[in-house]
A and B are shown apart, each in its own frame.
Chain A
C-alpha cells in the first residue's frame, strides 16, 4: 500500500521531524487533559498527576507509536548498529580478537568452498550430465578395481544394448600427437573417439562440424576436431582453419571443426580424432587387447541398476560367444563368467579422486567456523554479562526484551558482516594461493575464483555466524531478572561460573580435538606414504617420454633399431652413468597394461584365478639404471634377443605367489601377447627383482619383465642415471632424444624425484591444508579457554584477595583456576574423542597405512590439547597469584 510506504519512508528519512511531531502531539494531549482537570477545580500539580496517570507511560507510548508507524525495525536497527559500532570502537582489543576470529573462520571456509565449488560441486557443463556414464569391466577374480574393454566388446555393447541412447568408445588415455609442418614441431595431446562421441556428450561445434558417422569407417579420410584452447593458442583463432590440413604424427588430417570454449572432455585433450578400427597406432580389432572404455548417455528414466543388469547380461553372452570363436591358446585364459560391467557416473569418474579430499577440507573449515562462532559467542557473552545492569535499566525504562535482544543481535551481526568482508578479502587472496599449492592434475581447479556463488556462500556463512554467535547472549538476556539485577548493584557483578560460556568452551575443545585427530591421521598416513618402499631409487634418475613415429618405424625391428641408437647416443653423453628403456616408467598413474598369465603346472581353472600382471619390456641396463634391486639370478643382457629362448624376470611378489617356498629360477610361465613369437609359449624365469610401484604409491602389483628385444614391445620411456645433479643433464638428454627425429617436438624431461613428489601431491595438499586449519582451530579454542579463565580471575579478584587475606596458599589458588580450566578441557576432550571416533571414518578413503581409529593419534592429540590448555590456564593463573589482597579488597 502506498500510504504504508510513505509513512514508513517519512519516518525513516525525516526522523527528526517525525519525532518532533510525535512529541508535540502528545504534549498537546496532555496539556488539554491538564486544562480539563484544572477546570474541574484541581490544582495544577494534581491535574498534571492525574493526566499522567490516565495517559500511561509517555516513553512507552512513544515507543509504541514508533512501532505502529512501522519503521521501528529499520530505524532501531540503524540505532542499534550505531550503538554497536560505538561499543566496538570503545573496546579495540575485544573487537580485534573477535574480528580476527571471524575473518579466519569465514575466510577459510569461503576459500575452500571456492575450490570445492569449482572442482566438485558445480554440475558438469554438458546437457543433462547426470545421464552420462563411463563403462568399464571388472575382472571378478583379480583384485583390481576396473579394467578396460576390447574394441569388439565395445561394438557388441553399442549394437546390442537397450539402455543407452548412444554409446561411444575411446581409449582409456589421451595419446600424443606431433604436429609438424607449421614452424617448430609441437607435441599435442588428443583422444581417439568413435564418431558418435559428440552426440553422447550433447555438444555442437563452434565452427564446422563434429565427427560424422562415415569418419570412423575403415578407409575414411583422416579428420580432426580441435579444442577451443588449441585453436586459440596454436592457430590464433583463425576462422579459416576448417578445411585446412594438419600433419599429425606424419599423417595428414583435415580439420573439420572447432569445439566451443567450455567443452573440455576428456581432461587435457586438445583434439579429437575418429577411432578407426584397424588403422592408426593400434590394430583395434583384436579381441584380446583391452584398451578402451565406453561412454554412454543413459536413456531417460533408466536407472543405473537397470543399465548395469542389461549390460551384464550382454557381457556374459558376448564372452561365451567369444570363447567359442577364440583360437585355442586364448581359450584357457578367458573365463566368460569372470567379468562384470562397471558403470560409473561421469562426474564420479572425473572428480572421484579429489572429492574425498575436498569434502574433508570443507568439513574441516566448517568445524573451524563453528569454533570461531563459539569463540565470538563467548566474547559477546562476557560483554552481555558486563552490561546486565545497563540492560536492566533499559528494561525498567520501557524497552521491550525483544528490543534488547535486537540490540545484542546487532552486535553479532556487525561483527559477522565486518568479519565476513575481511574473510571474503582473505578468500580472494586465498583461492589463487590454494590453486597454486594444490596438485596440478585436479580437473577444473584452474577455474576456481571468488565469484557470485562464493560470495553468496560468504554471505550465508556470515549470516549463520551472526545467528550462532548472537544466540547465547540473547538467551542470557531473556533470563535477566530485572529486580534482582538492579538490586545486586555494581559491587557483585561476578556471576561466578557462567554455564553457557563453559558449554561453549567445552564444545570448542571438542571440535578442536576432532580437527586435530583428522589432521593427525592425515599426517600419519602421509608419513606412511612417504615411507613406502618405492622399489627403485629416484635420486639422480631422469625420465623422458621417448618413442618413435609409427610411420617411420612401423614394426618391432625398426623400433629396436631406433632405441638401440637412442641408447647409444644418450650413454655417450658425459655425466651419464647408464641409460635404459622401459614400457612405462614407474609411478605413471593408475592405467597401464594388464596381462593374464599361466604358471607351468597350473590347471586352467587355477590360471583363471591369477590376477593380471603388469608387464614391462626393458633393455639390459634397466635395473641398474633405476636402482631396482636384483634379488636372485640374473637380469637381461644384450644377448636376450629374438630367436633366443624366451626369458623373464619376475618381481618378488609374483615369485612368491606363483612358486611359494620354491626357488623361482628356472620355473616357467606363459603370457598371451600381441604379434609376438613369445606369446603363449613357456618363458623361463632367470631372475627375481624387488617390487616396484609402477602405477600408484598406495599399491604395488605383480610385475613381470621381458627383454624389449624379444617380441613386439614399443617401450615409451627412457630412463637415465646421471653421475651428478640430474637437472644439469636434462638439456643434453632432451637434445639427444630430439636429435633422433627433428619432426617431433623436443620431449619433456623430468627427474624421478619430482615424479615421486608429484605422486604425493594430493596427500601433501590435503594434509597441509587440513593441518593448517586444525592449528587455527586449536589456537581459537585455546583463545576461548584463555578468555574464559582470564575473565574468571578478573571477576573474582575480590574473592581471591579475600581468600589470600585469610591465608589461602598459592596452591589453593592454583587449584581454583586449574579446576575450572582443566575441568572444561577434560569435558571437551571426552566429548571430542567420542565425536572423533564417530567421524574420522569419513576420512578413511584418504588414509594409508593407518586406521581411522588409530589409538596413538587419538592419544597424542589429546595430550597436545591438554598441554595447550595448561598453557592457556597459566597466564590467568599467574595473574591470580599476583593479586594484592589489599588492592583487591578495595577493588571497586
Chain B
C-alpha cells in the first residue's frame, strides 16, 4: 500500500468505472482491483461503494450486465459498456480533461 491515499473526488467513480469497463466485460471485483492497480494504489475506492455505482450505471443504461464464468470457474456478474455508455465516457473524459487542464493552468499561473 502506498504511503498516502487520496479519497476519490465526488462523481469521479462513475468515470473510472466506465473507463475500466471500456477495455472489455469485467466483474465487480476485477473492476475494483484494476482501479486500485492502475492508480498505483493512490486512489482509495471503498469497495462497498463500487456496487451501488455499478447498479446505478446499469440503470442509466451506460453499462449492461450478464452472468458469466470467472477465471476460477465461478458464476460472476460481468459488466460491459453499452453504446450510450461509450458516448457518456467520451463526454465525461472530455469534461474531466478540460477541468483538470484548466485547474492546473490556474495553479501554474498563480
Which A positions have Cβ atoms within 8 angstroms of B?
1-4, 7-8, 21, 24-26, 28-29, 31-33, 35-36, 54-58, 60-61, 64-65, 67-70
User: What are the residues of chain A within 8 A of B87 when measuring CB–CB?
Assistant: none
The residue in chain A whose Cβ has the minimal distance to the Cβ of B57 is: A68
Given A21-B77, A28-B77, A29-B28; A4-B60 close (CB under 8 Å)? yes
User: What are the residues of chain B within 8 A of A28 when measuring CB–CB?
Assistant: 27-29, 70, 74-77
What does the 1/0 interface line of B16-48 toward A look like (CB < 8 Å)? 000000000001110011000000000000111
Given A21-B77, A28-B75, A56-B46; A64-B60 close (CB under 8 Å)? no
CB distance from A39 to the nearest CB of B (A): 12
> What are 11 inter-chain pairs, A to B, with CB distance below 8 A?
A3-B64, A4-B60, A8-B59, A25-B51, A25-B76, A29-B51, A32-B29, A55-B47, A61-B52, A64-B49, A65-B55
In whole angstroms, what is the CA distance A3 to B60 when docked? 6
CB distance from B87 to the nearest CB of A (A): 13
User: What are the residues of chain A within 8 A of B27 when measuring CB–CB?
Assistant: 28-29
In whole angstroms, what is the CA distance A29 to B64 when docked? 18
User: What are the residues of chain A within 8 A of B29 when measuring CB–CB?
Assistant: 28-29, 32-33
In whole angstroms, what is the CA distance A29 to B78 when docked? 12
Query: Is B95 part of the binding interface, using a Cβ–Cβ cutoff of 8 Å?
Result: no
User: What are the residues of chain A within 8 A of B76 when measuring CB–CB?
Assistant: 25, 28
Residues A4 and B28 in contact, CB atoms below 8 Å apart: no
Residues A1 and B75 in contact, CB atoms below 8 Å apart: no
The residue in chain B whose Cβ has the minimal distance to the Cβ of A51 is: B47
Given A7-B59, A29-B29; A54-B51 close (CB under 8 Å)? no
Residues B52 and A68 in contact, CB atoms below 8 Å apart: yes
In whole angstroms, what is the CA distance A2 to B62 when docked? 12
Q: Which of B59, B64, B75 contacts A4 (CB 8 A)?
A: B59
Sorted nearest first, the 4 A-B pairs with minimum C-beta distance are: A56-B48, A3-B61, A64-B52, A68-B55
User: What are the residues of chain A within 8 A of B51 when measuring CB–CB?
Assistant: 25-26, 29, 61, 64-65, 68
In whole angstroms, what is the CA distance A60 to B52 when docked? 10
Residues A25 and B28 in contact, CB atoms below 8 Å apart: yes
Q: Which of A31, A55, A67 contacts B48 (CB 8 A)?
A: A55
In whole angstroms, what is the CA distance A4 to B59 when docked? 5
User: What are the residues of chain A within 8 A of B77 when measuring CB–CB?
Assistant: 21, 24-25, 28
Residues A29 and B47 in contact, CB atoms below 8 Å apart: yes
In whole angstroms, what is the CA distance A32 to B34 when docked? 13
Q: How many A-B residue pairs have CB under 8 A?
A: 78
CB distance from B44 to the nearest CB of A (A): 10
Residues A69 and B59 in contact, CB atoms below 8 Å apart: yes
In whole angstroms, what is the CA distance A3 to B55 when docked? 12
User: What are the residues of chain B within 8 A of A70 when measuring CB–CB?
Assistant: 59
Residues B47 and A54 in contact, CB atoms below 8 Å apart: yes
Residues B52 and A56 in contact, CB atoms below 8 Å apart: no
User: What are the residues of chain B within 8 A of A36 when measuring CB–CB?
Assistant: 33
User: What are the residues of chain A within 8 A of B32 when measuring CB–CB?
Assistant: 29
Residues B52 and A65 in contact, CB atoms below 8 Å apart: yes
Residues A68 and B48 in contact, CB atoms below 8 Å apart: no
User: What are the residues of chain B within 8 A of A54 when measuring CB–CB?
Assistant: 46-47
The residue in chain A whose Cβ has the minimal distance to the Cβ of B44 is: A54
In whole angstroms, what is the CA distance A33 to B33 when docked? 9
The residue in chain B whose Cβ has the minimal distance to the Cβ of A29 is: B29
CB distance from B17 to the nearest CB of A (A): 12
A-B contact sample (20 more), CB < 8 A, given A25-B77, A29-B28, A68-B56: A1-B61, A7-B58, A7-B59, A8-B59, A25-B28, A25-B76, A28-B29, A28-B74, A32-B29, A32-B70, A33-B29, A33-B47, A55-B48, A56-B46, A56-B47, A57-B48, A65-B51, A65-B52, A68-B51, A68-B59
Query: Is B102 part of the binding interface, using a Cβ–Cβ cutoff of 8 Å?
Result: no
What does the 1/0 interface line of B71-87 toward A look like (CB < 8 Å)? 01011110000000000
In whole angstroms, what is the CA distance A823 to B10 when docked? 54
CB distance from A28 to the nearest CB of B (A): 5
Query: Is B91 part of the binding interface, using a Cβ–Cβ cutoff of 8 Å?
Result: no
CB distance from A543 to the nearest CB of B (A): 79
User: What are the residues of chain A within 8 A of B47 when measuring CB–CB?
Assistant: 29, 33, 54-56
Residues B52 and A3 in contact, CB atoms below 8 Å apart: no
Given A28-B75, A61-B52, A67-B52; A3-B46 close (CB under 8 Å)? no
- Residue of B32, B52, B58 with most chain A CB atoms under a 10 A cut-off: B52
Query: Is B53 part of the binding interface, using a Cβ–Cβ cutoff of 8 Å?
Result: yes
User: What are the residues of chain A within 8 A of B56 when measuring CB–CB?
Assistant: 68-69
- Residue of B47, B58, B70 with most chain A CB atoms under a 10 A cut-off: B47
Residues B60 and A60 in contact, CB atoms below 8 Å apart: no
In whole angstroms, what is the CA distance A8 to B64 when docked? 14
The residue in chain B whose Cβ has the minimal distance to the Cβ of A33 is: B29
User: What are the residues of chain B within 8 A of A35 when measuring CB–CB?
Assistant: 72
CB distance from B70 to the nearest CB of A (A): 7
Residues A3 and B48 in contact, CB atoms below 8 Å apart: no
In whole angstroms, what is the CA distance A64 to B48 when docked? 9
- Residue of A26, A29, A54, A65 with most chain B CB atoms under a 10 A cut-off: A29
Residues A68 and B61 in contact, CB atoms below 8 Å apart: no
CB distance from B72 to the nearest CB of A (A): 8
Residues B59 and A3 in contact, CB atoms below 8 Å apart: yes
The residue in chain A whose Cβ has the minimal distance to the Cβ of B59 is: A7
CB distance from A789 to the nearest CB of B (A): 48
Residues B60 and A1 in contact, CB atoms below 8 Å apart: yes
In whole angstroms, what is the CA distance A31 to B51 when docked? 15
User: What are the residues of chain A within 8 A of B59 when measuring CB–CB?
Assistant: 3-4, 7-8, 68-70
- Residue of A2, A8, A25, A33 with most chain B CB atoms under a 10 A cut-off: A25
The residue in chain B whose Cβ has the minimal distance to the Cβ of A54 is: B47
CB distance from A65 to the nearest CB of B (A): 5
In whole angstroms, what is the CA distance A61 to B75 when docked? 20
CB distance from B28 to the nearest CB of A (A): 5
User: What are the residues of chain A within 8 A of B72 when measuring CB–CB?
Assistant: 35
CB distance from B92 to the nearest CB of A (A): 17
CB distance from A666 to the nearest CB of B (A): 102
User: What are the residues of chain B within 8 A of A65 when measuring CB–CB?
Assistant: 51-52, 55
The residue in chain A whose Cβ has the minimal distance to the Cβ of B28 is: A29
- Residue of B55, B70, B74 with most chain A CB atoms under a 10 A cut-off: B55
CB distance from A25 to the nearest CB of B (A): 5
User: What are the residues of chain A within 8 A of B70 when measuring CB–CB?
Assistant: 28, 32
Q: Which of A2, A31, A33, A61 contacts B61 (CB 8 A)?
A: A2
Given A3-B61, A60-B48; A68-B28 close (CB under 8 Å)? no
Given A21-B77, A67-B52; A3-B28 close (CB under 8 Å)? no
In whole angstroms, what is the CA distance A633 to B47 when docked? 111
In whole angstroms, what is the CA distance A144 to B72 when docked? 101
The residue in chain B whose Cβ has the minimal distance to the Cβ of A57 is: B48
CB distance from B95 to the nearest CB of A (A): 21
In whole angstroms, what is the CA distance A8 to B56 when docked? 11
In whole angstroms, what is the CA distance A308 to B53 when docked? 70
In whole angstroms, what is the CA distance A56 to B51 when docked? 11
User: What are the residues of chain B within 8 A of A55 when measuring CB–CB?
Assistant: 47-48
User: What are the residues of chain B within 8 A of A2 when measuring CB–CB?
Assistant: 61
